[in-house]
Amino acid sequence: MPKPDWHAPWKLYRVISGHTGWVRCVAVEPGNQWFCTGAADRMVKIWDLASGKLKLSLTGHVSTVRGLAVSARQPYLFSCGEDRQVKCWDLEYNKVVRHYHGHLSAVYDLALHPTIDVLVSCGRDSTARVWDMRTKVNIHTLSGHTATVGSVVCQPTDPQIITGSNDQTVRLWDLAAGKSMCTLTNHKKSVRSVVLHPKINMFASGKKHDKANFTKEALFT
């Protein structure tokens, strides 16, 4: 693995205020023109990235918004929350155009597949659900975790879905079959976050009150 380039320590650039509850999720638009935030005030807010000014507030959730994802191929924003709802917002009309029903409890995270019209959501019901973005069909329910699934990421190559759970495991999934390919048990506490490396087949998983683990996917494919 190449050594990371050194850069000067990060400095606080701007503090943006507007929500009246804890901010639980952030997503940046692929073109770097704006970003969105979801919070305990049940609002989704869209902000100009350069100026930090509020552009739009979206209402529709009835509980805390926990996850956001912005499509790079359509003018869609996806959100999920503790109200068990997964919503698709059309940003040309600023309204909800699709609902994805199926989760039995709070939905904590979601991810968009980079090359096909597939959405994956996960939550407190210990599952990750794979949805056809357009038809709203629940293609697969990925079962195997024994506690809340708090993080999910998607990529174009196998394993196309990776989830992290409060059961202290990370699972790698076969999207076509809807089955687990591998279970990683390196963590000793709840896995709160999974992040893909932007260039190489590697991802990082972070656990509660502890260090992150880096995993090279080639070892498990």
Q: Over the stretch 103-139, which tens digit does the pLDDT of each residue have?
A: 999 999 999 999 999 999 999 999 999 999 999 999 9
Q: Whole-prediction pTM value? A: 0.91
Q: Residues of CATH 2.130.10.10 domain(s) within the chain?
A: 100-221
Which fold would CATH assign to domain 100-221?
Methylamine Dehydrogenase; Chain H (2.130.10)
pLDDT digits (tens, 9 = 90+) for 164-208: 999 999 999 999 999 999 999 999 999 999 999 988 889 999 987
Domain 19-97 has CATH 1.10.150: no
Q: Are 79 and 87 in contact (CB under 8 A)?
A: yes
Rounded (10°) CA dihedral 84, 140, 184, 189:
10
Q: Residues of CATH 2.40.10 domain(s) within the chain?
A: 19-97
CA distance 157 to 175: 10
Token pair listed for 28 = 């940046």
Q: How far is CA 106 from the centre of its chain?
A: 14
Q: Does position 219 have pLDDT exceeding 50, yes or no? A: no
Written as one letter, the residue type at 80 is C
| DSSP-based three-state secondary structure for 219 | helix
Q: Are 101 and 146 in contact (CB under 8 A)?
A: no
Token pair listed for 149 = 């699934």
